[in-house]
Amino acid sequence: MKISLIIPCYNEEANIQKGVLDKIGNFTKNDSRFLEVIIVDDGSTDKSRKIIKEKYLSLFPKFSLIVNSHQGKAFAVISGIKNAKGDYVMFSDIDLATPIEEADKLIKETEKNYQIIIGSRKGKREGAPLTRRLMAKGFIIIRDILIGLKGIKDTQCGFKLFEKSSALNIIKNLKVFSQAKKIKSSSVSAGFDLEFLFLAFKLGYKIKEIPVLWRHVETKNVAFLKDSIETLKDILKIKFYSITGKYKLTKN
């Protein structure tokens, strides 16, 4: 198998200085399963892009950089998938809240013909602030009532592996996240993961949820109230498109 590892990046200078890209580079450089590491910069305004260009592209030959205008994490992931050369695409949050070594757990499941494999914290948010834990619980209740996801417990862990052809087909059928728009602040809405998995079920893809290690990493890119409102709007849009028959699903 050949995997394209996608790393979304928005103003991650602090994490980069902590050595997260060194960990990713050292893990993938001699692993033949990983064809490439695609870092997608989502219009960073700090020195993230400069550091990546000047240090990491030459240090790790598998690394490449895509530069987007600021469109949010969802479209950073979509850009990475569309530009990937591997037959599988994996994405990881750059903060490595889930250690990159956990990739082996997801990769193993491809042997069982799962097309969509998602890392799961199984309800554990150790070290996370109370507001984040409350947001997660409320989000799950609303999600299950409105759209349901057939027993999936954790849709938001930033550690997932997809068969590329399946992922491209799902992206083709997106409605809420069908078109990128320039935004002003960070956007890490849960809506993309929800619409992606919602359509994966509708299209009949085999999905597996795998427990992975996770630790809370504080980030300025998550805003409790703003992200909650944004996610609720996205869930309502998914529900609306579903009940009104707007999803014209095609599977190639």
- The tens digit of pLDDT for each residue in 133-187 reads 666 676 778 888 888 887 888 888 899 999 999 999 999 999 999 987 767 665 6
Q: What pLDDT is stored for residue 190 in this prediction? A: 80
Specify the CATH class of 3-243 in words.
alpha beta
Banded pLDDT at 131 (limits 50, 70, 90): low
Check: CB of residue 72 under 8 Å from CB of residue 183.
yes
Sign of CA pseudo-dihedral 196, 103, 42, 140: positive
The amino acid occupying position 162 is: F
Which range has the worst mean pLDDT, 109-118, 170-179, 226-235?
A: 226-235
Q: What pLDDT is stored for residue 226 in this prediction? A: 76
Q: What pLDDT is stored for residue 181 in this prediction? A: 73
Q: How far apart are CA 78 and CA 178, in angstroms?
A: 10
N-term to C-term CA, the chain: 21
- Backbone Cα Rg of the chain: 17
Other beta carbons less than 10 A from residue 148's beta carbon: 11
The amino acid occupying position 170 is: I
- The tens digit of pLDDT for each residue in 235-247 reads 999 999 999 999 9
pTM of the predicted structure, to 2 decimals = 0.89
Q: CA 13 from chain center: how many Å?
A: 19
According to DSSP, the β-strands at 34-42 and 3-9 are parallel
Strand boundaries in 34-136, DSSP class E: 34-42, 63-68, 88-92, 116-120
**Across the chain, what does the average pLDDT equal?**
89
Q: What residue ranges do the domains of the chain occupy?
A: 3-243
